[in-house]
Amino acid sequence: MICTNLEQTRSVIRETALKCGRDPQEVKLVAISKRMPAEMIAEAYQCDQIQFGENYLQDAEEKINRLPSALHWHFIGHLQSNKAKMTAELFQMIETVDRLKIARTLDHHAGLLQKKLDVLVQVNVGREPQKSGVLPEDASDLLRAMQSLHNLRVRGLMTIPPYGQEAEASRPWFQALKKISMKLADKNFFYDNKAIELSMGMSGDFKVAIEEGATLVRIGTAIFGERSL
Ligand SMILES: *Cc1c(COP(=O)(O)O)cnc(C)c1O
């Protein structure tokens, strides 16, 4: 079941990329395994899925420690300073950095761990008060300040656009993130300005995200099925 879903999702990613003239290799699938048991993650790993995303630290810790160390974990939840140490230890990429204080704390812990931590800056493109993420106009100051944090590698940007019924509703938000990333690239604010990651698109709208330049799509439901709760 999970393998079938994975293969189906991979082929949609591939076809969508090819249709809009992109190299399919440029679009990586992050399987969002939040609230899914370790057994299901192991099943996805059997089908060559390496990158997984989790948003709840306690839950993730247990699973990460039980599963093979070859797995590559993305943190996609809200970051808390008092849990930065554990987050820096467990995850290879942190997608939700949105303020300088948490960036400094993560940098400090990465340093103690002698680890370079890949991070994305989360942008609140829809300016929704209930959502995390730096406001678009503040992104440049945040990235500028992060230049001195040498244990963090700012690989790109991430966004969760305002909820829309239709996938098309996400398009302007994805375009907005791409545009912000280009401005920041002009200032050489990314670790690798020629390979900027854009994490955007979920089960409902990842095709549109790929059309607008996504390099990481975060897909849960289409792979693991509906989450209870
Ligand atoms: C849950 C979640 C996803 C995956 O959503 P699906 O609709 O299940 O694909 C992607 N990104 C974030 C930040 C999430 O919290």
CATH topology of domain 2-224: TIM Barrel (3.20.20)
According to the model, what pLDDT value does residue 125 have? Answer: 98
Q: Write down the pTM of the prediction.
A: 0.97
Weakly modelled stretches of the chain, pLDDT under 50: none
Q: Identity (one letter) of the amino acid at 152?
A: L
Distance CA 145, CA 60 (A): 30
Task: List, for residues 53-94, the tens digit of each pLDDT value.
Answer: 999 999 999 999 999 999 999 999 999 999 999 999 999 999
Q: What residues does ligand 1 touch, defined as CB less than 6 Å away?
A: 32, 34, 55, 76, 160, 202-204, 218-222
The domain segmentation of the chain, as residue ranges, is 2-224
DSSP string spanning 170-181?
GHHHHHHHHHHH
What are the counts of helices (DSSP H) followed by strands (DSSP E) for the chain?
9, 8
Q: What pLDDT is attached to residue 228? A: 79
Query: Facing residues of 51 across strands?
Result: 72
Please give the Cα distance from 105 to 84 (Å, whole number): 7
Instruction: Identify the pLDDT of residue 25.
Output: 97
* Cβ atoms of residues 157 and 181 within 8 Å: yes
Tell which atom from ligand 1 comes closest to the C-alpha of 202: 9
For residue 160, which of 59, 93, 78 has the smallest C-alpha distance?
A: 78
Residue nearest to atom 14 of ligand 1 (CA): 76
